Chain A
Amino acid sequence: MTGQSSSVPVLSVRDLTVEFVTRRATLRALDAISFDIARGEVLGVVGESGAGKSVTGSAIIGLIDPPGRIAGGEVVLSGERIDNLPPEAMRRIRGKRIGMIFQDPLTSLNPLYRVGEQLVETIRTHTDLNAADARKRAIALLDEVGISAPERRIDGYPHEFSGGMRQRVVIALALCAEPEFIIADEPTTALDVSVQAQIITLIKRLCSERGTSVMLVTHDMGVIAETADRVAVMYAGRIAEIGPVRDVVKQPLHPYAKGLMGAIPSLEGDAERLVQIPGSMPRLSAIPSGCAFNPRCSRVFARCHVERPELIQVGDRKVACHLYDMPESLRGKAEIAA
């Protein structure tokens, strides 16, 4: 499912670092993360609150507000570097080439304007269509995202739509300019399960039909498991494990990913007790030295306290854990020695 076309990835992030400067210290929210997203691919980004998922999305579209800043690395969209563009050029890319879907559909729609006005405005900003054609296109888009009677509903205000319908409108807004890449930040978190399933199916269908790539940010592993092609597990501003969704969900390698999967109550299987990871995510001001996960890790050994693990290739995926940087036979011994 990944882009076999061997062409340039739609999005390529290299050593992206985001820092927030405060009076006391400089906090590093993202610490040199790198990943690629191929054409038509859905990359899921999971992690707990504070892992840096949403900051990654904001950094890519250049929406990091001061005191935050991109302190290093680069973001390349279809071969063109975009992280150093002037604000005006970035504004034109936003919405046109990169679409966005946020968690709360009520806050991403203007309550004072009719849905149609918002769609038409967006379409006309990014394309050369005249008002009448833009309206036709808006109706077609609403139809495509599964809103019944779009000719009538287009003149409704956001409050006249239910939560699920609003999120459909937001998706239509994101698709207006036919972007090559969409960032969906917790698109289903505010919705009920039955509606959630509809929205997931919709995002999946639209992306495969149009060949749009998606970065799907969520804390819900279930959503990732069903939607994503590849998944990146984030912890304390770094990627702990990245690889095909099947591998990472079914047989996670990184101890944090393992704990995370075990902690999720499942509808199948019969765990009497859930796996629990002791402690909680460190604050940005107190990230442990070495591997950031080491105080919570059950398989910690001496090297974890000193040296920060880099992502290393293990089969189809990459893992940032010292355990996989040694021959398999030695893994147990290192822990005993520690």
Chain B
Amino acid sequence: MSQSSTQNPGFVQVRDLRRDFDVSKPWLNRVLERAPRQYLKAVDGVSFDIRKGETFALVGESGSGKSTVARMVVGLLPPSGGTVSIAGISMTEQRASQERQRLRRRIQMIFQDPYASLNPRWRVGRIIAEPIRAFDIIQGEADITARVGELLTLVGLHPDDGKKFPHEFSGGQRQRIAIARALASNAEFIVCDEPTSALDVSVQAQILNLMRDLQEKFGLTYLFISHNLAVVRHMATRIGVMYLGRLVEVSEGKQLFFVPRHPYTRMLLDAVPDIAMVGKSREGVKGEIPNPISPPSGCTFHPRCPLVFDRCRIENPPVIDGVACHAVNEGRVAAA
């Protein structure tokens, strides 16, 4: 991972990415109740870089916008504002360029639910061969079958498994199939949206180890979305913490766990039940994520923040040196 990370900074560049969802009531209700249109800011000005060969993780609770970011980065969802560029090619520009078409095949996604992401009526071999055929990477049936067998072996399955249907596999094996499909088009950049949250712990360990092995072997770049901090700590080179559509802290991997800086990150870390916590009592966490349709003014975390002061209620803190917090940026808190 380390040798390639310096030569190409910002393999993926995300700048001021925004996405609003229209959650207005139907037209008639709006007219009768004189209600204005309502928008939910799912992602509100997120910027980050992913270096080649690293794993960039996004963590946050449900509704924080991490999956929306992932879907915009792969191009499944058009952003309302901001840009995404991968290997210097803009993914968000209106004009569909030929370069982008070629780039698309190098980007793949692994989804959370391996029961929903594989077509139940296709044999596994056909599922894995789909990107190969779609992008015309290999010609000739015999060669395609050989390649599928090779991919299945790579993810720890048997080449003959290609003849089976998805329902014949367990959750962990299905996720292996999803990984094989992602690798089929020689992808370099894989967006993983909660790849292990539907799996049991012992199977989760198998999949996480497999993903790391493949990363080392092929120099893959991952955008890794998870709500599980321990999994993220295990996988990530760098971590971004999201809260209500904003990136509140970006930190070098384990650094985040040794010196969490944003008060939200600290709260989150304190809240995780951990097996190291046997017999220890914890500090209570206060409050819940507010309604994203009418988020609090200023810094959206201020109603739950122990360090809140007047400025937080009015002004949205910019990300300075990896942290979006007035208290930290003004040096009012020691760095833990």
Contacts and interface: CB of A to CB of B under 8 A. Distances in A.
B8 interface: no
A200 B280 CA distance: 13
A275 B204 CA distance: 10
A290 to B, nearest CB: 20
Nearest to A280: B170
B201 A263 contact: yes
Contacts of B276: 225, 266-269
Given A194-B268, A197-B285, A225-B273, A219 B203 contact: no
A220 interface: yes
A226 interface: yes
Contact of A192 (B62, B201, B254): B62
B257 interface: yes
Contacts of B269: 267
Interface string A196-207: 111011000000
Contact of B275 (A164, A165, A201, A222): A222
B288 A162 contact: yes
Given A263-B204, A265-B230, A280-B172, A200 B273 contact: yes
B161 interface: no
Contacts of B61: 192-194
Contacts, number: 131
Q: Interface residue tally of chain B, by bracket?
A: 35 or more
Interface in A247-262: 249-250, 259-262
Nearest to B62: A192
Contacts of A195: 285, 288
Interface in B263-308: 267-280, 282, 284-285, 288-289
Interface string B162-200: 000000001011000000000000000000000000001
Given A222-B272, A250-B278, A192 B200 contact: no
Contact of B234 (A192, A197, A265): A265
B273 A48 contact: no
A5 to B, nearest CB: 22
Contact of B229 (A197, A245, A259, A267): A267
A53 to B, nearest CB: 12
A267 B206 CA distance: 18
B272 A267 contact: yes
A93 B173 CA distance: 42
Contacts of B270: 197
A267 B233 contact: yes
Residue among B267, B274, B275 with the most chain A CB within 10 A? B275
A51 to B, nearest CB: 9
A232 interface: no
Nearest to B201: A263
Contacts of B233: 265, 267
A54 B205 CA distance: 23
Contacts of B268: 193-194
Contact of A194 (B172, B231, B257, B267): B267
B208 interface: yes
A195 B206 CA distance: 28
Contact of B201 (A197, A260, A268): A260
A253 B259 CA distance: 34
B227 interface: yes
Interface string A213-247: 00000011111011000000000000000000110
A85 interface: no
B212 interface: yes
A314 interface: no
Interface string A254-292: 000001111111111111011111101100000000000
Contacts of A164: 288
B101 interface: no
A226 B270 CA distance: 13
Contact of A276 (B62, B209, B227): B209
Contacts of B228: 265
A264 B203 contact: no
A196 B274 CA distance: 12
A26 B87 CA distance: 58
B285 A194 contact: yes
Interface in B111-160: none
A196 B275 contact: no
Nearest to B203: A280
A277 B285 CA distance: 34
A263 B271 contact: no
B2 interface: no
A273 B273 contact: no
B199 to A, nearest CB: 9
A127 interface: no
Contacts of B279: 245-246
B326 to A, nearest CB: 21
Given A192-B227, A260-B201, 15 more contacts: A192-B62, A192-B289, A193-B227, A193-B273, A194-B61, A197-B271, A198-B285, A222-B275, A250-B278, A266-B276, A267-B257, A268-B276, A274-B209, A275-B205, A281-B200
20 contacts: A49-B200, A193-B229, A194-B267, A197-B272, A201-B282, A226-B273, A249-B275, A249-B278, A265-B231, A266-B230, A266-B276, A267-B230, A268-B276, A274-B208, A276-B202, A277-B206, A278-B206, A280-B170, A280-B200, A280-B203
| Closest 6 pairs between A and B when the two form their complex, measured CB to CB | A222-B273, A263-B205, A274-B205, A48-B200, A265-B234, A192-B61
